[in-house]
Amino acid sequence: MSSLTSAPTMIWTGGRLAAAVDGRIITPGDAAYDRARSVFYGGIDRRPAVIVRPTDASDVSQVVLLARETGLELAVRSGGHSLARHSTTDGGIVLDLADMHALEIDPDQRTAWAQTGLTAGAYTTAAGAHGLATGFGDTASVGIGGITLGGGIGYLVRKHGLTIDDLLAAELVTADGQLLHVDADHHPDLFWAIRGGGGNFGVATRFQFRLHPVDQIVGGMLLLPATPETIGGFIALADAAPEELSTIANVMPAPPLPFVPAEHHGRLVIMATLAYAGDVEAGQRVLAPFRALATPIADLVRPMSYPEIYPPEEEGFHPTAVLRTMFVDAVDRDAREAIVEHLEASTAPMRVAQLRVLGGAMARVPAGATAFAHRASRLMVNVAAIYQRPEDAEEHRAWVDRFAAALRDGDARAYVNFLADEGEARVREAYPGPTRERLAAIKARYDPTNLFRLNQNIPPT
Ligand SMILES: Cc1cc2nc3c(=O)[nH]c(=O)nc-3n(C[C@H](O)[C@H](O)[C@H](O)COP(=O)(O)OP(=O)(O)OC[C@H]3O[C@@H](n4cnc5c(N)ncnc54)[C@H](O)[C@@H]3O)c2cc1C
């Protein structure tokens, strides 16, 4: 192990970390350091004192105890996709679970135990080999750790609910270094809190999920011209569709992809991904009216195996982005016009309004049953600018804020997993009154000193 740069860490590196932990320890002098400190988003240049890659829960426990002893900031990382830059730290400890990626699937019981360093894509591919699935999000490289603890909204949300609705149990290392088995019968308060409460309560080392038979779906990308009318038509169809269908519609300038005719490049389109998790013929019938909304610019929707819904991702893609998230109950004519106007006015190389119609299985779970409280919301809307030059950050941030303000309805609600580093008021939008009070009381019980604070934080009461 090479020497550490920050003085306080010297206290505990006196052989202690290396002796206590089986996993890799990466410090500033190591060749692997720069790669290991990078995260999904670009424009983040933090230098942790140490990055630990645990191999098991006992390693995790040792790292938690060391963080507690030293007071160093602890960043817990699964897939490294935190929009709020929470998966790294300046001068603290990164606990990177990437080497903990074991998966045990029980096809007969339709359950799986998954270590939390797995990505959504790796889990989905392995489960797909059995014709089974648990729903995560829209991106394969997202870690199951972060997405699950915040809720998990993806291509099966209307059919099978949020990711947490399939969470049966978890193993969690709490702030005192103990490994707890958490489920409906064991530490039920904690089980409630980790289903939406994020990384506030401990380090999840394993999750047990329910699997559903999801083999062939009708899915893929449909590109339509974007106008207030087509956007409205799309939302109305997605809302009225059977819950087998979940959709994610990105209204954005058409990217110069090979399947997009050149004359459409840069013009506003609805770039939607549709996933009908049910009978293929029925799916084709349900999707026909979407195809009839306008002449499709591209239609890649076809019967496919469920894991194919995740397209391959570009190696080394580290976008710099600013994003705002909200739940709304409708996107009326004014809002649809605002979408078109704002997207046309932006100077960002890529900008998007993402519309996700919700409902179905997600909405049938009572709002108080988990720490994810926004069950009744009809839509999630995310607006984002993706850009290259750091000096343009302020301009794009201001644009995103104006755009979000134009779409918000009276009741400010936010999805914790899409929050950036936006301050306490926005965290409150993720956790309305009673949810927040209950979370804060559970936090006080399990993490009274707020060791797990580098997250969308719930301070202990
Ligand atoms: C490109 C992209 C697409 C996305 N698409 C979706 C989507 O479709 N649906 C959706 O619901 N969300 C989506 N998200 C949001 C995503 O769910 C969150 O960013 C999530 O936190 C990422 O999880 P991660 O493990 O990759 O990130 P990390 O950065 O590793 O973790 C984020 C935070 O989660 C906590 N955490 C992570 N792992 C653990 C653990 N094992 N124990 C305790 N705490 C932990 C920590 O507080 C950490 O700071 C997307 C994000 C990106 C960047």
Residue-wise pLDDT tens digits, 274-289: 999 999 999 999 999 9
Task: Show the beta-strand stretches assigned E in 211-362.
Answer: 212-213, 216-225, 245-253, 268-276, 298-299, 302-305, 320-328, 350-357
- In this structure, the dihedral spanned by the alpha carbons of residues 286, 244, 415 and 417, taken in order and rounded to 10 degrees, is -110
How high is the pLDDT of residue 3? 38
How high is the pLDDT of residue 5? 46
How high is the pLDDT of residue 7? 52
The finding on whether 227 has its CB within 6 A of some atom of ligand 1 is no
Q: Which amino acid is at 191?
A: F
Is 405's pLDDT higher than 60?
yes
pLDDT category, 375, cuts 50, 70, 90?
A: very high
Nearest CA to ligand 1 atom 18: 417
How many whole angstroms from 153 Cα to the centroid of ligand 1? 11
Who contacts 288 (Cβ-Cβ below 8 Å, separation ≥6)?
A: none
Task: State which of 41, 60, 81 you would mutate to test the pocket of ligand 1, scoring each by most atoms of that ligand within 8 A of its C-beta.
Answer: 81
The finding on whether 204 has its CB within 6 A of some atom of ligand 1 is yes
The finding on whether 146 has its CB within 6 A of some atom of ligand 1 is yes
Residues in the chain: 461
Is 427's pLDDT higher than 60?
yes
Q: Which amino acid is at 347?
A: T
- In this structure, the dihedral spanned by the alpha carbons of residues 273, 279, 285 and 291, taken in order and rounded to 10 degrees, is 20
For the residues 348-360, what does the mean pLDDT come to? 97
The finding on whether 352 has its CB within 6 A of some atom of ligand 1 is no
The finding on whether 154 has its CB within 6 A of some atom of ligand 1 is yes
Is 1's pLDDT higher than 70?
no
pLDDT category, 317, cuts 50, 70, 90?
A: confident
Please provide the distance, in angstroms rounded to a whole number, between the alpha carbons at the two ends of the chain: 40
The finding on whether 375 has its CB within 6 A of some atom of ligand 1 is no
Residues 102 and 116: their CA atoms lie apart, in Å, by 8
Is 13's pLDDT higher than 60?
no
The finding on whether 97 has its CB within 6 A of some atom of ligand 1 is yes
The finding on whether 199 has its CB within 6 A of some atom of ligand 1 is yes
Nearest CA to ligand 1 atom 39: 145
pLDDT category, 111, cuts 50, 70, 90?
A: very high
CA 383 and chain centroid, separation: 15
User: Average model confidence (pLDDT) for the chain?
Assistant: 95
How many secondary structure helices (H) and strands (E) does the chain include?
15, 19
- pLDDT-wise least confident of 8-12, 68-72, 384-388: 8-12
Q: Which atom of ligand 1 is nearest to the CA of 147?
A: 17
How many whole angstroms from 146 Cα to the centroid of ligand 1? 3
Is 397's pLDDT higher than 50?
yes
Share of the chain above pLDDT 70, in %: 97
How high is the pLDDT of residue 369? 98
How high is the pLDDT of residue 212? 98
Residue 389's nearest CA partner among 354, 356, 347 is 347
How high is the pLDDT of residue 95? 98
Q: Which atom of ligand 1 is nearest to the CA of 82?
A: 29
Nearest CA to ligand 1 atom 23: 146
Residue 382's nearest CA partner among 210, 80, 173, 137 is 137
What tens digit of pLDDT does each residue of 325-348 get?
999 999 999 999 999 999 999 999
Nearest CA to ligand 1 atom 38: 145
Q: Which atom of ligand 1 is nearest to the CA of 142?
A: 26
What tens digit of pLDDT does each residue of 58-92 get?
999 999 999 999 999 999 999 999 999 999 999 99
For the residues 378-404, what does the mean pLDDT come to? 96
Task: State which of 51, 82, 455 you would mutate to test the pocket of ligand 1, scoring each by most atoms of that ligand within 8 A of its C-beta.
Answer: 82
How many whole angstroms from 417 Cα to the centroid of ligand 1? 6
Confirm if 306 and 280 have CB atoms less than 8 A apart. no
Cross-strand bridge partners of residue 211: none
Q: What is the pTM of this model?
A: 0.96
Q: How far is CA 198 from CA 121, 145, 146, 284, 416, in A?
A: 20, 9, 7, 37, 8
The finding on whether 21 has its CB within 6 A of some atom of ligand 1 is no
The finding on whether 273 has its CB within 6 A of some atom of ligand 1 is no
How high is the pLDDT of residue 14? 41
